[in-house]
Structure 1
């Protein structure tokens, strides 16, 4: 999908690589007729069976069933032709409103040479858009090749030289193709069936091209070459920052230096409240100073031996520095705070059998993390006493003037759902003597949060309220320091992008999309192509920096501050969704920022923001790629095509920025 001359979205079947042309060719072959005669046979039909659109395998199943019912060859050809538009618009594009694309349609692709398929496509379009104008490319099968030729011409013009060896050499090129067990890739468990294509021209040595691999490991043939490939990738990663990936690991490390633990000489100032006359009289308040209440040395020794496990899921990605530091401040050893691994397919399949099937994938995978902590050997042998999976109802946020700071209710309820799943038939936590802690926490009310944490942990950790409150203060400082550090790195990347005319990619997503198992390592793909990536957390939040991008809006009173999104979204009650909208506003105002918008399948809180973000970025002509259907399945081929296509768009956009910079410089000289 193009907007402002740039690709913003991409639709490709995630399950099937069979195109419409392949389907028609296969049908013709099964009936022993040349594909060129397909349309004449289809047009001879007086009626047609109704095929179900979707997978080519299921379509062929329909064909077999219809044959058994007595449908003729002509009728089957007509029926398969009529289902092709549904395969395009309903199965792949998933467009409920065809008119949203306008009223002028241009058809290309070799399938348009088949008059039956072409008529079915035109009829379908005109049924849904009655006033539509439908044109067919004069050379539909070669349209893509023309585009490639035009692009090659433009590249040579920009570069100043060509590497093409000439038509004479090309016409004399020979090649051999080989696909067997000797070409199969064994560098991972997928074992891709590859094809080796060896080409040779009269003036060159033989060159081998490898096709059919699902990852870059399949591009090499030996372990030595694989090592070189991995080393070069590591070197590139060192030169090209991926703050999303860095954040996903930094969040869970013990990085904060705690202040000295209070002693019995430490004083605490608090407000004493006294109600008079049974509540009918005035409420008396006064400030008092008293000694800090410490737990006994035996209680402290008890805490130092405890181990606490935390699943690395959902809102934990927002709050991990806080949770870890709270425990560390209470003298629980950093080594005794255990986080699960990043999400992966094996983990999900192993633990998914216990839980709900109706929630989103990020919520479903949470139970797999809990299962891994309970039963994976490396976690089970640590024999932790507590598993802490808090039900976070409100989140801390930087967007101002919102209707609330609420968390997604699915996410808030997941800890309780997980507990129910693991105790339905028998209590798996009790079997391992583990205390599962899922009490609610409100991070939008600091005083309430202190009370909640003390209520949760006072007896379990044998601590005083003063100790718990002090640990909360340390935890807030750790969370702030983590954010400050990541924003400093983000500021450096953005400043360098401006200075060097670069384009960086900003990930719009929920906190758990930092998990490589949730984002399907899309950011790694962009990093391997040389693009630096930022998380929303890495956007600098200080007023001075933001004033250069939001200052005019504030002066024109469109917003009250740089952190206000009421001009584009008034019903901004969801913290993570509001932050996505705010980050989109920032990207729209920063010329060196492109956007990757991620959303998990069935995300109800993200859905209201889709059109808002799309309009914001469309109005500013900001390059953006949307992936709104990510789930447990990783469509590797589809992702690679989307990434490389978007990378091309970004290269074009970067060239535009370079041209604008030159023009601006010339204008400055003229002035």
Structure 2
């Protein structure tokens, strides 16, 4: 029997193995290919050419990127699932499931009967590429990340669906002093959660599980998280010695079914193969000549602050610090805005140490000549840096950036700031920030997007960006997510595009994402006439040129584009007009110390993950808290209708009039039950059932039902229902009541009164995907409460058939239920009005928090209402105001009850000078894709600000805080300039 060779060409690596007649491994290789897969495979085969020349071999290729190579070379190919299955069946018989993680691929293969495979589709969230990104973010190697994770003390909840989400969660933890060990383990836990939630799709992982692929072969911390999460022992968690090359071994095993050929012939076929070159979609060049580029540079380089010789300067100075998500920026300015000192560098996950080092350098520069009279800080790490070093002012970054932009262009009406992973866009009206747009779910329009590709192609970011300036044919890569774009870039390479063309294409892609995904502009006029661009990404001339070309107009880029947050903060410090700064002195810095430790707060049901930062002299700063209790202050209760409604609904349990003689009926407390619970609770207690509500939502409850979730893209409120029904089954209720409801009550304010499809029919999905429901009676009939007579007839029939309850008793219970629902609605409206009167009596502003009924769940809103009231606002909800406006036609089909309420509430707010709207949107909500634009239109037409908050399963409120503080700053600016509201309306 001839030797058998298996080549597994994955998205990032090439694995080559040689097996003998007894299936013993004679040779193995695992190498990254950096998008040159065929060349890498040939190089590896050359290393064993001496041993194999003149011998006949059987060679088969497998892997996600292997099919193209196999076709071009005329070499046999086997699908990777079959290759993996062949290796597992041969070497580890009795396997029940395989979890395999690769560079950009993740898959679970279920054995037993027919093979069943679940694989990631459009996202590389829980893969090796994701782990690479996170290690880069933390400024450690993959091996260091692994070692750190094994020393963790706690796990933070971190999103894994996308590297962008994860960065948004990790960065605040690092900026606020979280331990790298805990973050490293949390990253691996996120990969586990993504694999279990995203790939099992309702099928349970049990029995003997084999773990394959490079990440699971090399990373022991990742192994540990999988074993603990899946509760596996040594017998049921199998990590093969050659788990990183198992698919290649399977390909070699499968080669027995294919003809043999001389090794030299196979190598020649592989070497001489050339991928099919297709047509590349190209665009015009960014610059056609050096002269055109020189004129471009001269125009933009004219926007610079005054030049100051710091060595010769003597006088007053002001310091600005921008503690950003990935970088720390500092600027020391003279009275006219001249730069005495600047700093721009990665914060390496430890902004306190960076600022400490730079402050010492600034004091050495100042000596006795320069006196710092004020210091201000902005950015994600604002609170930590302000408390650590005694800065005089902390200001929201939107205001800092506006200060800086207005310094260079007083008429600025639009600011776009693109950083490493954040994009912020501000509309300016009447010299105040009027509306804010942030990238929510994707960083494909940000600097890290280009940096990722630069590294993958072996360049640093600066050199890679320059390559695209004069590229003759930039590749049209569209405006897509990083994972999709990876495939586009690889395809463009195969089709013959040069690195220069790809670099230019990526710069253009960043701009398209910014304009059409974040800003969602229909034309350049939607942005403004006087546009200032800033952020490190706009220091890339290719991105700046692409932006101007896309808009068809010139913009202003200051030479300090990357320092604008720090520069704006320094200007704000100057405008404080202080005689003396509270900034720590040079002597105080000499004894400065900082330690951070994680704790969980148990003072209320939020159970916040806190970081306690301790400084010299007994000073402390606590971050991660949603209320003031961990700071030793009793929570000040501001009127908050979300909080009121939640407490009122939870208090229903045990307060019914029935005697419980007909048994215990469980009701899952989620989705539309937040709307209909008063009805169902009264109905069943009147029928003498003991109504049992599922527990309060929590991360733990979500994890309880996670393995039964069939779709990773459905909204978090729906995902929570799986844990709620599992908890009710565990509670031993006699039946669970969760009806399907296509319609809501008709309030006469919309074109129809549908529930969204997820809310309407989720009971059927639960019935099909939660095995535990087979252990109890799960009642999920179709009902419609808006037609009183029809529902009464249906209820009579159902109660008689299911429980033998007489007609008259059911009829009385239905009547009581309708009365209870009406009473609840009236109570919400009256309480809302009482809160509004309170706000006006105490001169407080009112936020109308618009969302769906289930957004009052603290696990879903993550305490956003607490955050808003902590800033002194009174909170009411859309259902307390929607009835105050009559029906009005909308530009969109207005057929969803909950959205109709929001439209009406927004219209009412436009008539009230002391109210603003904040809209809550769940990621994955299809109906809100329409709602958000309509809400923005209503509010802006009425001269109001529009603030949207997107929420998912992760509770990082950093971006939320920016928006609320920016809203406050804009409101304050309008008070100073009374004409602002009229100007906005026009």
- Relative to the length of structure 2, the TM-score reads 0.48
Equivalent-residue separation in structure 2 for 1:359 and 1:34 (angstroms): 36
Call closer, same or farther: CA 1:176–1:135 in 2, change over 3 Å: farther
> C-alpha distance in 2, partners of 1:527/1:644?
12
Aligned to 1:9: 436
Question: Take 2:515 and 2:721, find their aligned partners in 1: how far apart are those partners?
Answer: 34
CA distance in 2, matches of 1:313, 1:124: 44
Q: Does 1:338 align with 2:692?
A: yes
* SS of alignment partner, residue 10 of structure 1: strand
Counterpart of 1:413 in structure 2 is 761
The match for 1:165 is 580
2:886 to 563, 575, 583: 563
* 1:364 aligned onto 2:719: yes
Encode CA deviations 1:130-168: one digit per residue, 9 max, x unaligned.
3x23222364344334543555577x5xxxxx6662499
Kept after mapping to 2: 8 A contact 1:501/1:657: no
Answer yes or no: is the 8 Å Cα contact 1:503–1:654 preserved in 2: no
Matches within 5 A, 1:571-650: 571-627=893-949, 629-650=950-971
Say if 1:533 and 1:167 are closer, same or farther in 2 by CA, change over 3 A.
Answer: closer
State the match for 1:450 in structure 2: 792
Query: Counterpart of 2:773?
Result: 429
Match of 2:682 among 316, 325, 338: 325
Deviation track 1:212-266 (CA, whole Å, cap 9, x = no partner) reads: x5x138x9xxxxxx9652x52x431x2x12211221221233399989xxxxxxx
In structure 2, how many angstroms separate the alpha carbons of the residues matched to 1:351 and 1:305? 28
- 1:21 and 1:349, CA in 2 relative to 1: closer, same or farther beyond 3 A? closer
Cα gap change, 1:355/1:99 in structure 2, threshold over 3 Å: closer, same or farther?
Answer: same
> Contact (CA 8 Å) 1:175, 1:197: kept in 2 or not?
no
Q: CA offset at residue 365 of structure 1?
A: 2.9
- Give, in whole Å, the separation in 2 of the partners of 1:646 and 1:563: 28
Number of residues paired by the alignment? Answer: 548
Any idea what SS the aligned residue of 1:394 has?
Answer: coil
Specify which of 514, 524, 533 is matched with residue 99 of structure 1. Answer: 524
CA contact (8 A) 1:311 1:369 kept: yes
Shift of 1:176: 6.8
Using the TM superposition, give the Cα deviation of residue 125 of structure 1 relative to its aligned residue in structure 2, in angstroms.
3.7
Using a 3 Å threshold, how does the CA distance of structure 1 residues 315 and 651 change in structure 2: closer, same or farther?
same
Matches within 5 A, 1:64-463: 84-85=510-511, 88-89=514-515, 93=518, 95=520, 97=522, 99=524, 101-102=526-527, 104=529, 106-109=531-534, 111=536, 114=539, 117-126=540-549, 128-130=550-552, 132-137=553-558, 139-149=560-570, 151=572, 156=576, 165-166=580-581, 174=589, 182-187=595-600, 213=623, 215-216=624-625, 229=631, 232=633, 234-236=634-636, 238=637, 240-254=638-652, 304-332=661-689, 336-357=690-711, 358-375=713-730, 380=731, 383-400=732-749, 402-422=750-770, 428-430=772-774, 432=775, 434-463=776-805
> Does the 8 A contact of 1:108 with 1:141 survive in 2?
no
8 A contact 2:714–2:925 mirrored in 1 = no
Contact between 1:458 and 1:464, CA under 8 Å: does it hold in 2?
A: yes
Deviation of the 1:320 alpha carbon: 0.6
Q: CA deviation at 1:626?
A: 1.0
Say whether the 8 Å CA contact 1:185–1:194 is kept in structure 2: yes
User: How many angstroms does 1:306 deviate by?
Assistant: 0.5
Contact 2:653 2:693 in 1 (8 A): no
Task: Specify whether residues 253 and 27 from structure 1 end up closer, same or farther in structure 2 by C-alpha distance, changes over 3 A only.
Answer: same
Distance 1:659 1:584, change over 3 A: closer
Using the TM superposition, give the Cα deviation of residue 396 of structure 1 relative to its aligned residue in structure 2, in angstroms. 1.9
Give how far 1:534 is off.
0.8
Secondary structure of 1:8's counterpart equals strand
The worse-fitting range, judged by mean Cα deviation, of 517-526 and 164-173 is 164-173
Indicate if the aligned counterparts of 2:879 and 2:901 stay in contact, CA closer than 8 A: no
- Counterparts of 1:647 and 1:40, CA distance in 2: 41
Tell me, in whole angstroms, the C-alpha distance in 2 between the residues paired with 1:390 and 1:656.
53
Is 1:538 paired with 2:880? Answer: yes
- Choose 163-172 or 322-331, whichever is displaced more: 163-172
Which residue does 2:806 correspond to in 1?
464
Q: Deviations over 1:579-606 (max 9, x none)?
A: 1111111111111111111222343333
The C-alpha deviation readout for 1:461-490, integer Å capped at 9, x for no partner, is 332211111111211222222222222221
CA drift of 1:537 comes to 2.6
Deviations 1:289-331 (A, max 9, x none): xxxxxxxxxxx98x52510111111111111111101111122
* 1:524 alignment partner, one of 854, 863, 866: 866
Instruction: Indicate the residue corresponding to 1:669 in structure 2.
Output: none
Richer in helix (by share):
1
Provide the rounded CA distance (Å) in 2 between the counterparts of 1:97 and 1:177: 52
1: CA distance between counterparts of 2:736 and 2:582? Answer: 68
Q: Partners in 2 of 1:193 and 1:615 — Cα distance?
A: 40
Q: Compute the displacement of 1:617 (Å).
A: 0.7
Q: In structure 2, do the counterparts of structure 1 residues 449 and 529 end up closer, same or farther at CA, with 3 Å as the change threshold?
A: same
Structure 1 length as normaliser, TM-score?
0.68
CA contact (8 A) 1:396 1:443 kept: yes
Per-residue CA deviations over 1:370-426 (Å, capped at 9, x if unaligned) read 123224xxxx2xx210100011222224344x4332222332111112112235xxx
Higher relative contact order (Cα pairs below 8 Å, separated by 6+ residues): 1
| Correspondent of 1:20 among 447, 450, 466 | 447
Contact 2:464/2:503 (CA < 8 Å) preserved in 1? yes
1:501-557 Cα offsets, whole Å, 9 max, x none, are 32111111111111122223221211222222111233385xxxx5xxxxxxxxxxx
Tell me by how many angstroms 1:71 deviates. 11
Shift of 1:48: 7.7
Pair 1:88–1:488, CA change in 2 (3 A):
same
Tell me the SS of whatever aligns to 2:717.
Answer: helix
Q: Find the counterpart in structure 2 of residue 265 from structure 1.
A: none
State the alpha-carbon separation in 1 of the partners of residues 612 and 499 from structure 2.
36
User: Would you say the 8 A contact 2:467–2:500 is kept in 1?
Assistant: yes
Tell me how far 1:78 sits from its aligned partner.
6.5
- 1:491 matched to 2:840? The reply is no
Could you tell me how far apart the structure 2 residues matched to 1:343 and 1:655 are? 43
* Structure 1 spans left out of the alignment, 5+ residues: 157-161, 199-205, 220-225, 260-299, 547-561, 661-671
